[in-house]
Amino acid sequence: MRKSKRFESMPVISLEEGQQIGHVKSLVVDPAGKKVAALIIEQKGWFKEQRFIPYHKVKSAGSDAITIEKTASVERAASLPDIVKLAREKVGVIGARLVAENGTLLGNVDEYYVDLATGTIAGLEFSGNLLNSFIKGRAFLDTIYVRTLGKEVVVITNEALDNIFKLDGGLQETVKNIRETTGHLWENTVQKTKDLGTTLNKSIEKVKKDIKAATNPEGEEALSADREKNEDPAAAGLSAVTTQKAGLEKNERIVENPPSQAGPPNEENRTPPPPQA
């Protein structure tokens, strides 16, 4: 493929005569066939009559020149009425607005690509409204999604909206994928924002409880109860074991050293008082 503007000013060489017969002035587009119908040739000399080379008579579209088999391949306007009619219609494609069937305006056509072997318009390069909503730069659309090539408007199918390729240093990605990726990023951002808000609300509630507890004794008791309720289970279990162990040690001391039994003295063992004089 080649951009249409690259054809301009290219020399035209006749292989049979071995001479340059002029250079390409512009292209004639056949909108119904979605192709380049002919090359308009500008020749040297004082009398510059406009002449055409039907694209099917182009031998090769090289990188430096256009070759034809012989000079007779260049024809006068009088012998090519259909091509002359197309030339007068001036459907240049470039500059036309790109509009989808549903009325969506994508932008304006900046360039179109030509299949060198057949002259078929292979794709459109454009920039503008829809593109700037997702990426910066230019985009490419295959002409299989083009319904009508008009002089002022190029109409494309609705399916084209999901098959537009961005052009960025060789990197190609559909605008549909870009749109979906952008949507996922936005959803993730919204979710993270919600999570952050929930965390902040919990922190604020905790600070409020602490302040209330510091200024209200009953609140302090409630806060202490909450803290004990949320205490580490392992620490609570260890405290219970320590308490139980202390109780066992106390019982052992009581068994080894029983306390003396206090009570009234036994009448049988009571010492009689001394006799009175």
For residue 34, give the CATH number of its domain: 2.30.30.240
Q: Does any domain span residue 257?
A: no
Whether 202 and 159 map to the same domain: the answer is: no
Q: 269 lies in a domain?
A: no
Regarding whether 59 and 130 lie in a shared domain, the answer is no
- Of 50, 71, 89, which residue sits at a domain end? 89
Is residue 234 situated within a structural domain? yes
Q: Is residue 102 part of a domain?
A: yes
Q: Give the domain range for residue 16.
A: 2-89
Name the CA dihedral angle for 228, 231, 235, 239, rounded to a multiple of 10 degrees.
10
Same domain, 20 and 52: yes
Give yes or no: residues 206 and 233 share one domain: yes
The Cα 262–Cα 20 span in angstroms is: 142
Q: How many domains would you assign to the chain?
A: 3
- The last residue of one of the domains, among 115, 141, 173, is 173
**Same domain membership, residue 135 and residue 155:** yes
**pLDDT tens-digit profile, the chain (277 residues):** 999 999 999 999 999 999 999 999 999 999 999 999 999 999 876 556 789 999 999 999 999 999 999 999 999 999 999 999 999 999 999 999 999 999 989 889 999 999 999 999 999 999 876 555 555 678 999 999 999 999 999 999 999 989 988 876 443 455 555 455 444 444 554 555 566 566 666 666 776 666 666 666 555 555 555 555 554 554 555 455 455 555 555 555 554 555 444 444 444 444 455 555 4
Residues 77, 14: one domain? yes
Whether residue 233 sits in one domain with residue 203 = yes
How many C-beta neighbours within 10 Å does residue 60 have? 12
**Are residues 117 and 147 both part of a single domain?**
yes
Does residue 275 belong to any structural domain of this protein? no
- For residues 101 and 154, state if they share a domain: yes
Residues 13 and 74 grouped into a single domain: yes
Annotate 223-256 with b (16+ C-beta within 10 A) or e (fewer): beeeeeeeeeeeeeeeeeeeeeeeeeeeeeeeee
Is 169 contained in some domain? yes
- The model's pTM is 0.61
In a domain, 183, yes or no: no
Residues 156 and 202 reside in one and the same domain: no
Domain contains 21: yes
Per-position DSSP letters for 85-143, written without gaps between them: HHHHHT---TT-EEEETTS-EEEEEEEEEE-TTT-BEEEEEEESHHHHTT-SSEEEEEG
